[in-house]
Amino acid sequence: MDWFGRAKIAFTHSPTPLTLQRKDGTVTDLLKVCEASTPPCQLNPLLFNGDIQTMWTAVQEHGPPIFYRRRIFVADHKTYTGTFAVDFAVEPHTDVDEGLPPRTAFYSDEDFAKIASDDSRPMLIVLHGLSGGSHEIYLRHAIAPLVLNGGNWEVCVVNSRGCANSKVTSGLLFNARATWDIRQVVKWARETFPNRPLFALGFSLGANILTNYVGEEGANCPLKGAIAVGNPFDLEVANKSLQRTFLGKQVYSRVMGSNMKKLINAHKDAILKHTNLNFDRIQQVTYLHEFDREVQTVTWGYPTENAYYRDASSSDAVLAIRIPFLAISALDDPIAVYDAIPFQEFTQNPYTVLLTTSLGGHLSWFELGGGRWHARPICNFLNRMVTEINLDAITPDANGTKLETQFVTEFNPVRRKLQILNN
**What pLDDT, in 10s, does the model give residues 285-303?**
999 999 999 999 999 999 9
Same domain, 180 and 217: yes
In a domain, 112, yes or no: yes
Tell me: pLDDT of 422 over 70. Answer: no
Quote the pTM value. 0.95
Q: Is 62 a catalytic residue?
A: no
* Domain C-terminal end among 312, 337, 354: 312
DSSP for 132-160 reads: --TT-HHHHHHHHHHHSTT---EEEEEPP
- Please say whether the beta carbons of 267 and 164 come within 8 A: no
What is the pLDDT, as a whole number, of residue 308?
96
What is the pLDDT, as a whole number, of residue 404?
46
- Please say whether the beta carbons of 83 and 73 come within 8 A: yes
Same domain, 294 and 192: no
Catalytic entry in 128, 135, 362, 374: 362
What is the pLDDT, as a whole number, of residue 407?
44
What is the pLDDT, as a whole number, of residue 96?
83
Domain residues for the domain of 363 are 6-234+314-393
Confidence of residue 397 (pLDDT cuts 50, 70, 90): confident
Same domain, 16 and 115: yes
Same domain, 199 and 292: no
Same domain, 269 and 387: no
What is the pLDDT, as a whole number, of residue 418?
62
Tell me: pLDDT of 1 over 90. Answer: no
Same domain, 128 and 151: yes
User: Phi, psi at residue 330, to the nearest 5°?
Assistant: -100, 130
Same domain, 319 and 301: no
Q: Report d(CA 52, CA 149) in Å as an integer.
A: 32
In a domain, 303, yes or no: yes
With b for 16 or more beta-carbon neighbours within 10 A and e for fewer, the 50-60 pattern comes to bbbbbbbbeee
Confidence of residue 403 (pLDDT cuts 50, 70, 90): very low
In a domain, 108, yes or no: yes
Same domain, 371 and 387: yes
What is the pLDDT, as a whole number, of residue 370?
83
Residue 148 CB partners (closer than 8 Å, separation 6+): 64, 66
Pairing of strands 67-74, 6-7: unpaired
Q: How many domains, in total, are found in the chain? A: 2
Catalytic entry in 234, 313, 333, 374: 333
Tell me: pLDDT of 409 over 90. Answer: no
In a domain, 202, yes or no: yes
Residue 166 one-letter amino acid: S
Same domain, 280 and 178: no
The dihedral through the CA atoms of 130, 361, 242, 416 has a sign that is positive
329-375 per-position pLDDT tens digit: 999 999 999 999 999 999 999 999 999 999 999 999 999 988 999 99
Confidence of residue 398 (pLDDT cuts 50, 70, 90): low
Confidence of residue 406 (pLDDT cuts 50, 70, 90): very low
- Please say whether the beta carbons of 212 and 314 come within 8 A: yes
Same domain, 151 and 15: yes
Tell me: pLDDT of 419 over 80. Answer: no
Same domain, 302 and 334: no
Alpha-carbon distances, residue 24 vs 21, 27, 28, 387, 408 (angstroms) = 8, 9, 11, 11, 42
Pairing of strands 6-7, 27-29: unpaired
Catalytic entry in 166, 204, 241, 313: 204
Q: Is 141 a catalytic residue?
A: no
CA 282 from centroid of its chain's CA atoms: 26
Q: Is 333 a catalytic residue?
A: yes
Residue 218: HSE in the Cβ half-sphere, 13 Å Cα cutoff: 12
In a domain, 248, yes or no: no
Same domain, 38 and 93: yes
